[in-house]
Amino acid sequence: MAGGGVEVRTTEMLPPELVSTEAGLKETFGPDTRITNSSVVSPSFSAELIQNAAKSIALASLLIVLLIAWAFRNFGWAAFRYGIAAIVALLHDALIVLGLFAILGYFFKIEVDSLFVTAVLTIIGFSVHDTIVVFDRIRENLRLNPGEALNPVINYSIMQTLARSVITSLTVVFTLLALFLFGGFSVRNFALALLIGIISGTYSSIFNASQIVSLWQEVEDRVRHRRLAAAT
């Protein structure tokens, strides 16, 4: 740990046991040795943390779908297509972070806490913000070119917003990298989670969200053509 400290994981200890442990450490390593902080992570706390994280993500996802559907309300019911595509992209980002932290926890004993939940929610917000920028450009180009096919409009819109997305993400990545390297032990996992999530959110908003909208449109077109063919 930063400042020459050491983190030790043990079974749960009562206050008298902490006092005797600190006395033993002072006897072994010198009078300046002391326990600066102790915390207990019980199974009930872990379960509550998971429940709160799931509730927060579910509520955020619902509000995001409604927000995007309202922003794209001129498209009618197709507006929900954009909202659901954004949700799939942000869930992808959250799962990337959860998966990598599960691997890091298995090999390097990294633990998650309430700061990790905060990081995941921040990642969701960043991912949606970046996705909405691309979607808004798609909406504007569809308005300016009403007869244009969707796929060329999506491709053109991504190219228009690509530089902005990458540059914005890089400024955040550089800041988080500095925080991870020099911010100290207490915020290192928080910065690492954000760093992974921002990188994932950048490419998912460019390569995933819009492609889901395109694929959805293609599936709808195929179903419509089959129904027309069956009717004739």
Q: Rounded to 5 degrees, what are φ and ψ at 212?
A: -65, -40
Report d(CA 35, CA 22) in Å as an integer.
Answer: 6
What is the per-residue pLDDT for 232? 73
What is the per-residue pLDDT for 144? 92
pLDDT along the chain (232 residues), means of 10: 63 75 80 72 66 82 85 81 90 92 88 83 87 92 89 94 93 94 86 94 91 92 87 76
- What Cα–Cα distance (Å) separates residue 15 from each residue in 5, 19, 74, 214? 21, 6, 63, 60
Helix, strand, coil percentages, rounded to 5, for the chain: 85, 0, 15
User: CB within 8 A of 104, min separation 6: which ones?
Assistant: 110
DSSP assignment of 87-109 equals HHHHHHHHHHHHHHHHHHHHHH-
- What Cα–Cα distance (Å) separates residue 144 from each residue in 44, 132, 135, 147, 184? 55, 18, 14, 9, 50
What is the per-residue pLDDT for 92? 92
- What Cα–Cα distance (Å) separates residue 17 from each residue in 12, 21, 33, 176? 10, 6, 16, 39
What is the per-residue pLDDT for 181? 92
What is the per-residue pLDDT for 68? 84
Domains of the chain: 1-40 (no CATH), 43-231 (1.20.1640.10)
Q: Residue 206 has which token pair?
A: 């460019």
What is the per-residue pLDDT for 25? 79
What is the per-residue pLDDT for 2? 46
What is the per-residue pLDDT for 108? 85
DSSP letter (8 states) at residue 3:
G
What is the per-residue pLDDT for 48? 76
